[in-house]
Amino acid sequence: MTPLHVYCVTDAANAPGPALAGIGAGGVEAVVSNDIAAWVEEVPVRPVATLESLRAHHRVVQAAAAAGPALPARFGTSAEDAEALRESLQEAAAAYRAGLERVRDAVEYGVRIAGGAGTEGAPAAEAARGGDAAAGAGPGRAHLERLRARHRERERRLRDARRLAGELREELGSRLREERVDVDPRTGGTIAHLVAVPDADAWLAAVDKVRRRRPELELVVTGPWPPYSFTPERGGEGQNDD
Amino acid sequence: MDDPRDPGPEPAAEHRVRGPIHSPSVAAALHPDALDDPVALVDLVNRVLDRGVVLRGDVTISVAGVDLVELGLALYVASAERARIPRRPGPGGEPPAP
């Protein structure tokens, strides 16, 4: 049996085109369970995360999201076979249906407070990945100090991001469908917004206004993305980053 | 399948977003198709690796190679930042922890 790499969950009516290239040579297919489907690819071995494979994964998710509502699967999600995947879809069908409605005709945009990527990004990622791994390396005072400093830094970034999120909310009003504020280990404070497609221009204008008002912040605005940040959480286990 | 957001073939290097991408007057977002832009790439990696739905049941999640991605990304971003007009002290102040 060949394992299936899962790209996303979609409406059953949304099927991948035959020419769509995935992370391997297996071809992207849909596994359907009643009215929902998962876009998958047969992969001989579990794919390794590389910049290339992440890009390829994203391209497939993007193709799905361009044709209808799609819930991106986290990279690395795989099923033993189509039967196992169908059962999995069936088991949580109601959550996926609700999730698809939530993102229908909407896109995600991101606003990130830059200044943490690259140089500080790697150590921050290490800290967020769990003090435990790092703690094994050398439990000393210096190490604890470093962890504390990182924690304080994280708190500071979260405060900054929340404050900015509040300003954006005020500016956007009802054009903002949903919001998610995180401190991402690789990048610092991030705000994800779910925005109805017709509101995208108004969203950009509003963000620009806030950006001009806060020139001291180096903001990176990205989008439109498939709704990576607005997918149903797996019961109790899927909390991110916290 | 005509699909306005399908980027088609792998975006070439020239697909990069140019210019001062943090300019306060830019009334546009970096499009995720600009995957070769290191700035958008960081956002991409965050989303693909850390977000998204985790399916239930006999579906597992396991990712190998994340360290390599982190490393590749750090190098990529660092080299891009060196190439840009410095907005803050370049890398080298504090070496990344091993």
Which B residues 33-92 touch A at CB under 8 Å?
Answer: 35, 39-66, 68-74, 76-78, 81, 87-88, 91
Minimal CA separation from B94 to chain A, in Å: 8
pLDDT digits (tens, 9 = 90+) for A70-110: 999 999 898 989 999 999 999 999 999 999 999 999 999 99
For the ranges A61-75, A95-109, A225-239, the lowest mean pLDDT is seen at A225-239
**Type of residue found at A195:** V
DSSP A149-178: HHHHHHHHHHHHHHHHHHHHHHHHGGG--E
Minimal CA separation from B54 to chain A, in Å: 6
Minimal CA separation from B29 to chain A, in Å: 5
Is-contact A127 A65, C-beta < 8 A?
Answer: no
Strand partners, A189: A183
Instruction: Give yes or no for A194 touching B (CB within 8 A).
Output: no
Average pLDDT in the A166-190 region?
A: 91
Rounded Cα gap, residues B52 and A237, in angstroms: 13
**Partner residue facing A6 (CB), from B22, B50, B55:** B55
Q: Which residues of chain B have pLDDT under 70?
A: 1-39, 56-61, 65, 76-98
Burial of A113 (0-12, 13-18, 19+ CB in 10 A): buried
Using the beta-carbon criterion (under 8 Å), do A54 and B69 form an inter-chain contact?
yes
User: For position B32, what pLDDT does the model report?
Assistant: 61
**Partner residue facing A73 (CB), from B6, B53, B65:** B53
pLDDT digits (tens, 9 = 90+) for A188-219: 899 999 999 999 999 999 999 999 999 988 89
Average pLDDT in the A157-169 region?
A: 94
Res A171 pLDDT > 70: yes
Q: With contacts defined as CB-CB under 8 Å, which chain B residues touch A130?
A: none
Using the beta-carbon criterion (under 8 Å), do A221 and B29 form an inter-chain contact?
yes
Size of interface A-B (CB pairs under 8 A): 239
Does the interface ipTM go beyond 0.90? Answer: no
User: For position B34, what pLDDT does the model report?
Assistant: 57
A141: helix, strand or coil: helix
**Partner residue facing A77 (CB), from B54, B64, B66:** B54
Res A134 pLDDT > 60: no
Mean of the per-residue pLDDT values for chain A?
86
User: For position B10, what pLDDT does the model report?
Assistant: 36
Is-contact A74 B54, C-beta < 8 A?
Answer: yes
Is-contact A53 A209, C-beta < 8 A?
Answer: no
pLDDT digits (tens, 9 = 90+) for A19-35: 999 999 989 999 999 99
Burial of A10 (0-12, 13-18, 19+ CB in 10 A): buried
Confidence of residue A127 (pLDDT cuts 50, 70, 90): very low
Is-contact A81 B37, C-beta < 8 A?
Answer: no
Q: With contacts defined as CB-CB under 8 Å, which chain A residues touch B97?
A: 122-123, 126
Average pLDDT in the A163-176 region?
A: 94
